[in-house]
Amino acid sequence: MEKMDAEELFQAQAHLYNYTYSFIGSMCLKSAVHLGIPDIIFKNGQPITIPELVLALQIHPTKSGYVYRLMRLLVHAGFFATTKVVKDDKEEEVGYDLTPSSRLLLKDNVPTLSPFVRAMFHPALVHSSEFLPEWFHRNEITPFDTAFGMGYWDYLSQNQEFNGLFNEAMIGDSGMINLVIKDCKYVFEGLNSLVDVGGGKGGVGRIVTESLPNLHWTVLDLPHVIENLPDSTNLKFVGGDMFQSIPSADAILLKLVLHAYSDEDCVKVLKKCKEAISNKGKEGKVIIIDIVVGEKNENHVLTEAKLFFDMLMMVLVNGREREEKEWEKLFLDAGFSHYKITPIFGMRSLIEVYP
Ligand SMILES: C[S@@+](CC[C@H](N)C(=O)[O-])C[C@H]1O[C@@H](n2cnc3c(N)ncnc32)[C@H](O)[C@@H]1O
């Protein structure tokens, strides 16, 4: 220790404190979303000054002086940007503008990640992650089980408010596909039917069938998720359990489903998928949209996001984020012969798996 440079140790201290306090950064982001700051800036039509923001926020008068400090941190974190604005009195002031990250938080934007961020700050998720250290000494499958005495999917089925929030979050997340639908349309072309296993409220189905109206899309999800959802000409909803049975089709889609399960459960589901596409022979396929850790050219931000997701899967559902080798083993164990990975969705990849 003595031999180490003091400067190096002070850097190490800052590194430690930054990670220790990253929950404060998270709560600042939560505040921005709950206060509606991105939408206020957008409606303002130009960068907003602090007095204008304070007025629009309609917060308690004693809190006006604190807004600048919240914005300063969020600018530092890249959620907002500052620029100079000239007001009527010709004085230059600092104006706060959106960045690409906060544009994704606009409520009426397509895509919007506002519901996703809100759902991830739900007290049930924050609370269960606090049990991570204790869980290492205990027998439960996940820290979520340690915290609530039941599994994550059971909790969702018993908690209407959180279930609604979670499903909205997934629709928002699926909306990101809109950005590259033209680049991945080829994956769905030539298919007459597809079953979207664990497809939630049909977020991906609505986007894809809009540009491929002849594709018959069926969402299979748990009964409490799809209840009261109306079918349309080429989009229908079926309540069921993917471990029991999957309707047959030309292709199966699994978006952000397998990462929530153990290897053993993934192989079970993949075997059911293989059965479901067997009528199509060698031309059937399973389309997976999920995280592949350690892809070529993956930058630091993507790796960190993937590793955070991996920990989230550990806390909530006994799932994991997998490297290519681990995905390959699942496919081979389930009896598939080959696969192709295309990293087209940022932190998620498109994986086509063939019998
Ligand atoms: C992370 S969400 C992904 C939703 C959707 N694929 C998307 O990306 O927007 C996982 C989905 O799997 C569903 N699910 C969980 N267990 C299931 C089961 N045994 N059978 C069918 N669906 C299940 C959940 O209800 C949930 O909608």
Provide the sign of the torsion angle of the four alpha carbons 8, 10, 13, 19, taken in this order.
negative
Round the average pLDDT of the chain to a whole number and report it: 94
Give the atom of ligand 1 at the shortest distance from the alpha carbon of 289: 8
Q: Whose CA is nearest to atom 27 of ligand 1?
A: 200
Question: Are 148 and 159 spatial neighbours (Cβ–Cβ below 8 Å)?
Answer: no
Walk me through the domains of the chain, giving residue ranges and CATH numbers: 6-103 (1.10.10.10), 114-354 (3.40.50.150)
The CA 338 to ligand 1 mean position distance, Å, reads 25
Choice from 173, 222, 235, 245 to test ligand 1 binding pocket (greatest atom count within 8 A of CB): 222
The CA 42 to ligand 1 mean position distance, Å, reads 33
Q: Whose CA is nearest to atom 12 of ligand 1?
A: 198
Give the atom of ligand 1 at the shortest distance from the alpha carbon of 200: 27
Would residue 259 show up in a list of annotated catalytic residues for this protein? yes
> Left if phi > 0, otherwise alpha if psi is -120 to 50, otherwise beta: which for 196?
beta
What are 312-343's pLDDT values in tens digits? 999 999 999 999 999 999 999 999 999 999 99
Q: Cα separation of 209 and 97, whole Å?
A: 35
The CA 199 to ligand 1 mean position distance, Å, reads 6
350 membership: H or E segment, kind and range: strand 348-354
What are 173-203's pLDDT values in tens digits? 999 988 888 888 899 989 999 999 999 999 9
Active-site hit among 15, 259, 300, 338? 259
Among the ranges given (163-167, 306-310, 319-323), the one the predictor scored with the smallest mean pLDDT? 163-167
217 membership: H or E segment, kind and range: strand 216-221
CB atoms within 10 A of CB 301: 11
What are 51-98's pLDDT values in tens digits? 999 999 999 999 999 999 999 999 999 999 999 998 777 789 999 999
Give the atom of ligand 1 at the shortest distance from the alpha carbon of 257: 10
Q: What is the mean pLDDT of residues 41-49?
A: 97
Structure token digits, residue 36:
């509606």
Indicate whether 2 pLDDT > 70. Answer: no
> Left if phi > 0, otherwise alpha if psi is -120 to 50, otherwise beta: which for 106?
beta
Q: Whose CA is nearest to atom 13 of ligand 1?
A: 198
The CA 200 to ligand 1 mean position distance, Å, reads 6
